[in-house]
Amino acid sequence: MKPSTPSTVCVLFHVFFGSLSAVTICGNLLVIISITYFKQLHTPTNSLILSLAVADLLVGLVVFPFNMEFSVSSCVFSEELSCKVRDSFDVTLCTASILNLCCISIDRYYAVCHPLTYRTKINVHVVVIMIVVSWSVSLLVAIGLVMAGLDQAKCQENCFIDLQLANILGLLCSFYLPVILMLSIYLKIFLVAQKQVRSIQGTKSGATASKMERKATKTLATVMGVFLMCWSPFFLCTSFQLLTHMPVPVAVIESLSWLALSNSMLNPFIYAFFYSWFRSAFRMIISRKIFQGDFSDSKLH
């Protein structure tokens, strides 16, 4: 039961996670405005980043408030309709965010490993297909899990196996398969980058080549490290509970859920703030310079 008057802990809880929601919304909104406004950023790669930013923006706008409300009302595992709505938004948007990250890794693979054929392999048509598939799969996973839950509520034991199967498929599509794909791709990118560095060591100083190699390592480690840090605990806990049927404290699940959602707040920093042209775009937007004239053709550097 929710207390009639909010306690100090609840107030602090809402202030803290409300701040995270605001940062998530603002960060992803900056990315969306930058890509849609500045013509220099109208590229297939940035279309994928735009799709990711939309998913993460909706996480901050929809999922964060739902989680703030239900984390203090013990909604987890409830059969109420409002909780089903929360779960469907949660699964759809978080899966879309993860699958968009997966699409970005595929784009980076062709850019680094096949630079000569990159523009023909990753064009606007291919990017649109990738985005549509990512969002479609996310919707199907969410619908499948919600429908399996509703059926299980009606027929109880007879639908238990169907629900287990739906949960397993959901975990595979939402996390494990994308993670395996991303780890494989980024490992390949890292190996190719190392090979490229070694091939130019004869024309550049060893210190410069070593610096490039460290930068490539740091970038890839940051991308995958932050993603795995945020999402792995939640999905491993969920998998453990699903396979062993052992109850996990609600507080633990909610804490891990918030850690996972924080990835949507960090994505703009990882995939946008690392690039100088995005930083230039952000400065122009924050300073409101774009409202003083038409700067859509500005050269960002």
Model confidence over 6-27: pLDDT tens digits?
Answer: 567 777 877 888 899 999 999 9
pTM of the predicted structure, to 2 decimals: 0.84
How much is the pLDDT for 1?
Answer: 42
Domain limits of the chain?
11-291
Burial of 246 from C-beta contacts in 10 A (0-12 / 13-18 / 19+): exposed
pLDDT of 3 higher than 80: no
Quick one: pLDDT band at residue 4, thresholds 50, 70, 90?
very low
% pLDDT > 90, the chain: 29
Q: How far apart are CA 127 and CA 143, in angstroms?
A: 24
In sequence order, what are the residues at sequence separation of 6 or more whose Cβ sits closer than 8 angstroms to the Cβ of residue 204?
none
pLDDT of 201 higher than 90: no
Please state, rounded to an integer, the average pLDDT across all residues of the chain. 81
Query: Rounded mean pLDDT of 257-269?
Result: 89
pLDDT of 60 higher than 90: yes
Higher pLDDT, 116 or 165: 116
How much is the pLDDT for 5?
Answer: 45
How much is the pLDDT for 75?
Answer: 44
How much is the pLDDT for 243?
Answer: 82
pLDDT of 47 higher than 90: yes
Rounded alpha-carbon distances, angstroms, from residue 256 to 34, 38, 229: 31, 37, 10
The segment with the largest mean pLDDT, out of 124-128, 190-194, 240-244, is 124-128
Q: Is 293 left (phi over 0), alpha (psi -120 to 50) or beta?
A: left
Quick one: pLDDT band at residue 99, thresholds 50, 70, 90?
very high
How much is the pLDDT for 161?
Answer: 60
Domain 11-291, CATH homologous superfamily name and number: Rhodopsin 7-helix transmembrane proteins (1.20.1070.10)
Query: Rounded mean pLDDT of 151-176?
Result: 69
